[in-house]
Amino acid sequence: MNRTVRLRDPLTLVWAVLTVGTLLSAFTSGRSPSWSVLAVLIVMLIAGIKAHLVVAHFMELRHAPVQWRLVFEGWIVVNFVTTVVCYLGSVPR
């Protein structure tokens, strides 16, 4: 019987990075004081990388016509920039 899942399979590697990334960003946020710009940048960067992995590998848009890839990767970037800009604008001086 053919095994449908191999440990070094790209999809499994993506899953591992997504899971580790989730734990890492939660840890970073939990261990940092409030108003830590660095912590927020790390958390959002990890979120962006995770989102990219889902778009490229699970949604398979790395094989898609470039306009669709641009739409979704662009969506990730716009969310990242908006969140960070609003956050930076709110940090107490």
Binding positions for another protein, rule: CB under 8 A = 2, 4-5, 10-12, 14-15, 18-19, 22-23, 25-26, 28-30, 34-35, 40, 43-44, 46-47, 50-51, 54-55, 57-61, 63-66, 68, 71-72, 75-76, 78-79, 82-83, 86-87, 89-92
Give least dist CB 63 to another protein, A: 6
Cα–Cα distance for residue pair 9/40, rounded to 1 Å: 31
Cα–Cα distance for residue pair 90/32, rounded to 1 Å: 17
Give least dist CB 47 to another protein, A: 4
Taking each continuous run of H as one helix and of E as one strand, the counts in the chain are 3, 0
